[in-house]
């Protein structure tokens, strides 16, 4: 415990799933948190759970596709905590799977806005603050859907792979400033997948079955028990000599170049 003691963390997509469970795990490790999401009621629920763990929490409802919102969130974090040590780009726009030929250009634009441009902007906004304090850790949550080329996920997979490429460039450029940039590819049953299963079980169930069957451990990961500790590792000083890397937390068996 205490691996993030005193560190100021900005975490996106904290209203549910991996983001919510990571926020709770970070709170237990002593982080001072800025969490954001569009759904205020769910975000407030996460904030309460983190506060119950003794964490200081700044819950900021925002639209990640609105640049002014991002500026206000970063400025608010600096005003509150005086620094930013860790940025976790977790928020995502997922897809209801369907063939590449059936996607529209507008589908792609929407995915690019949330999955690539928002992390791009937040990384650039946090950079000068991390440089000022002599370093920091950026963790970008990507996906095995991209590294595997998972059928049906053309927009999601391609934008996540673009973010993975950006992470490697930033790692090389910002390493001299003490800023580490790493990627985590998780495999977990998230809230969005559960909702998909409720709405379209004929689509989601084969995905669940595939995720479990491909994994060497023959199960799908749990967001709190399996994924959040790995994000914690990349965020904390435990990974102080890692940058530009992709950490695959998917139970083994996925083909990841």
Q: Is 156 known to be catalytic? A: yes
CB atoms within 10 A of CB 32: 23
- For 71-88, the DSSP string reads HHHHHHHHHHHS---EEE
Q: Which of 60, 127, 156, 241 is catalytic?
A: 156
| Torsion region of 17: left, alpha or beta (phi above 0 gives left; psi -120 to 50 gives alpha) | left
Exposure class string for 131-156: b at 16+ Cβ within 10 A, else e:
eeeebbbbbbbbbbbbbbebebbbbb
C-beta separation of 76 from 60 below 8 A: yes
Residues 6+ apart with CB under 8 A from 50: 23, 24, 26, 27, 33, 35, 57
- Compute CA distances 69 → 33, 91, 109, 217, 257, whole Å: 17, 14, 19, 41, 36
Give a three-class secondary structure readout of 37-69. ECCHHHHHHHHHHHHHCCCCEEEEECCCCCHHH
C-beta separation of 156 from 145 below 8 A: yes
Give me the active site residues, please: 156
């Amino acid at each position: 415990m205490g691996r993030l003691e005193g560190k100021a963390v900005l975490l996106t997509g904290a209203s549910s799933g991996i983001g919510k469970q990571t926020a709770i795990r970070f709170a237990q490790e002593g982080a001072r948190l800025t969490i954001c999401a569009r759904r205020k009621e769910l975000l407030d629920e996460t904030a309460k759970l983190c506060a119950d763990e003794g964490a200081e929490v700044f819950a900021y409802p925002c639209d990640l596709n609105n640049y002014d919102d991002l500026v206000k969130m970063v400025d608010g974090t600096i005003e509150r905590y005086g620094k930013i040590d860790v940025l976790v780009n977790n928020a995502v726009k997922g897809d209801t799977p369907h063939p590449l030929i059936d996607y529209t250009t507008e589908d792609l634009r929407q995915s690019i806005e949330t999955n690539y441009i928002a992390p791009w902007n937040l990384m650039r906004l946090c950079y000068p603050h991390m440089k000022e304090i002599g370093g920091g850790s950026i963790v970008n949550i990507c996906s095995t859907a991209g590294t595997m080329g998972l059928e049906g996920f053309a927009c999601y997979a391609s934008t996540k792979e673009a973010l993975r490429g950006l992470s490697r460039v930033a790692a090389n450029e910002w390493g001299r400033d003490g800023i580490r940039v790493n990627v985590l590819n998780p495999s977990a049953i998230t809230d969005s997948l559960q909702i998909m299963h409720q709405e379209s079980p004929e689509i989601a169930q084969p995905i669940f079955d595939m995720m479990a069957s491909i994994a060497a451990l023959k199960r799908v990961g749990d967001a709190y028990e399996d994924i959040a500790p790995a994000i914690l590792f990349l965020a904390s000083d435990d990974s102080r000599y890692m940058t530009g890397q992709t950490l695959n937390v998917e139970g083994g068996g996925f083909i990841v170049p």
